């Protein structure tokens, strides 16, 4: 079976992991795409790259008509939750209008669209959550991602929605930090940090999420799938495990409630996912958080 896969947002954390994973697979014709210049150009020069702004409908229709991929894995999005709260128009353009554009193109050519979504479509009143739990977002980012899901669900081409939670990992030339790198670097600098202990998540290693996407392609999966780890942890518990792994001073980590931070956007308190469906139907098996820390540690070492 051969696949021709277009990745949107190939410069992002998940996008880069997908490029690395898929370019090694036999029978895969890979096309990376992003708004900016290709960050992996000198590392993976044999991977085809096309500039693509998914918010530009004319460009999306033209590129997909020309390249005719069998699958699009849509990772591009505005994911900074506070930025979304402060810039509704930009958030909607990147997270909803872009999806409308991709759906229009995928419907024309019957391209299988795999869309990445988030636990932030839920209220946070209870968790972990199954695929059929009722969405009720508490911030604009969540609202935009839920609106995008509804656009996808009306698509007449094959589609799958892969929701995920608190993705962590390392990427090349990537400005954003994550729970593992932030805690490690802060404690190494003997800098005290405050970490919340009243939010619950199932943290997701970026490599595991990329594998979930690839499994969905291989299985021609349709419908909604929850892709994360199966361990429900608070960020404070995660931080203590990072400190333990790197043998750093956990006493520098102060346990706080979310209410002690002033942020433009509310966060759902309790999410995390039940991943039984992904295990059963896709064969998805995530790593433990300790295994994830160990992998990130190996990638960060010079």
Which ranges of the chain does DSSP label H, i.e. alpha helix? 13-22, 57-67, 81-86, 88-92, 98-109, 140-153, 179-188, 206-218, 235-245, 276-282, 289-300
Check residue 43 and give its pLDDT: 96
How far is the C-alpha of 255 from the C-alpha of 239, rounded, in Å? 10
**Taking a C-beta distance cutoff of 8 angstroms, is the pair 113, 74 a contact?**
yes
pLDDT at 105: 98
Span 172-190, pLDDT tens digits: 998 888 899 999 999 999 9
pLDDT of residue 158: 98
| Range of lowest pLDDT (75-79, 142-146, 170-174) | 170-174
What confidence score (pLDDT) does residue 302 get?
58
Residue 271's SS3 state is coil
Using alpha carbons, select from 238, 221, 216, 226 the residue that is nearest to residue 119. Answer: 226
**Strand-by-strand arrangement of the 159-164 sheet:** 48-51, 28-34, 3-8, 71-74, 112-118, 159-164, 223-226
Mean pLDDT computed over 256-280: 96
DSSP annotation of 167 reads E
Give Cα separations from 8 to 33, 63, 66 (angstroms): 5, 12, 16
> What are the φ and ψ backbone dihedral angles of 204, each rounded to 5 degrees?
-120, 120
Listed residue (166, 108, 160, 117) closest to 137, CA to CA: 117
Q: Please, which residues bridge with residue 232 across strands?
A: none
Mean pLDDT over residues 105-115, rounded?
Answer: 98
Give the global pTM. 0.98
Tens of pLDDT, residue by residue over 125-143, are: 999 999 999 999 999 999 9
pLDDT digits (tens, 9 = 90+) for 200-231: 999 999 999 999 999 999 999 999 999 999 99
Q: Which residue ranges form the domains of the chain, and what is each CATH number?
A: 3-170+203-231+273-288 (3.40.50.720)
Q: Is the pLDDT of residue 61 over 80?
A: yes
Question: Which of 199, 169, 177, 184 minimizes the C-alpha distance to 252?
Answer: 184
């Amino acid at each position: 079976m051969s696949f021709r896969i277009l990745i949107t947002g190939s410069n992002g954390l998940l996008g880069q992991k997908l490029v690395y994973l898929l370019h090694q697979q036999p029978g895969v014709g890979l096309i990376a795409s992003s708004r900016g210049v290709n960050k992996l150009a000198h590392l993976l020069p044999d991977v085809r790259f096309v500039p693509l702004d998914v918010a530009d409908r004319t460009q999306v229709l033209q590129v997909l008509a020309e390249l005719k991929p069998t699958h699009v894995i849509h990772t591009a999005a505005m994911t900074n939750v506070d930025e979304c709260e402060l810039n509704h128009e930009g958030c909607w353009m990147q997270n909803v209008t872009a999806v409308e554009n991709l759906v229009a193109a995928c419907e024309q050519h019957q391209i299988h669209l795999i869309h990445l979504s988030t636990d932030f479509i839920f209220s946070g009143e209870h968790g972990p959550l199954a695929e059929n739990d009722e969405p009720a977002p508490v911030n604009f980012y969540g609202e935009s991602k839920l609106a995008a899901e509804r656009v996808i669900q009306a698509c007449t081409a094959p589609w799958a929605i892969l929701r995920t939670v608190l993705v962590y990992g390392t990427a090349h030339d990537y400005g954003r930090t994550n729970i593992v790198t932030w805690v490690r670097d802060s404690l190494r600098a003997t800098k005290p940090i405050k970490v919340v202990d009243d939010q619950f998540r199932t943290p997701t290693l970026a490599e595991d999420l990329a594998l979930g996407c690839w499994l969905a392609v291989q299985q021609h999966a349709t419908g909604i799938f929850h892709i994360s780890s199966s361990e429900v942890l608070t960020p404070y518990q995660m931080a203590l495990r990072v400190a333990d792994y790197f043998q750093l001073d956990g006493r520098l980590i102060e346990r706080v409630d979310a209410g002690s931070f002033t942020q433009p956007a509310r966060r759902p308190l309790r999410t995390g996912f039940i991943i039984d469906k992904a295990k059963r139907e896709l064969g998805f098996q995530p790593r433990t958080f300790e295994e994830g820390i160990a992998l990130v540690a190996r990638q960060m070492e010079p």
